[in-house]
Amino acid sequence: MELLQERGWYRERSEQAALGFDTTVAAAVALIVETPEVAPVWSPMAHRRVRQWPLRRYPFCLFYVVLDARLVILAVAHVRRRPGYWQSRVGT
């Protein structure tokens, strides 16, 4: 859901910015799929093995877990807005 909202926000300002955001997210996901352990474990929820990957050039992080060999992206979260709002998704 956040991904679509943020893409829309960037698109309202610039088609080029929206494309850059999409490209950055896609590159991050591709890297994470290839090597899920590449991102550090996010400390407050380390017991759940939630990992955090910052997006280059954009103030967002991907928060994800690997469950049964599947990558589950919990959030594309802004680094300053509503910190931790997505944490209830960890149990899903």
Asked if pLDDT for residue 92 goes beyond 90, the answer is no
Whole-prediction pTM value? 0.78
What residues make up the domain containing 33? 2-89
| DSSP letters for the chain | -HHHHHHHHHHHH-HHHHHHHHHHHHHHHHHHHH-GGGSPB-GGGGGGT-EEEEPTTSSEEEEEEEETTEEEEEEEEESSSSTTGGGGGTT-
Count how many domains the chain has.
1
Q: What is the pLDDT of residues 3-56, one digit of tens each?
A: 777 888 888 899 998 999 899 999 999 999 999 888 888 766 556 688 999 998
- Dihedral sign from CA coordinates of 70, 49, 87, 7: negative
pLDDT of residue 42: 78
Asked if residue 2 lies in contact with residue 77, where contact means CB atoms within 8 angstroms, the answer is yes
C-alpha–C-alpha distance, residues 87 and 31, integer Å: 23
Q: What is the CATH number of the domain that holds 61?
A: 3.30.2310
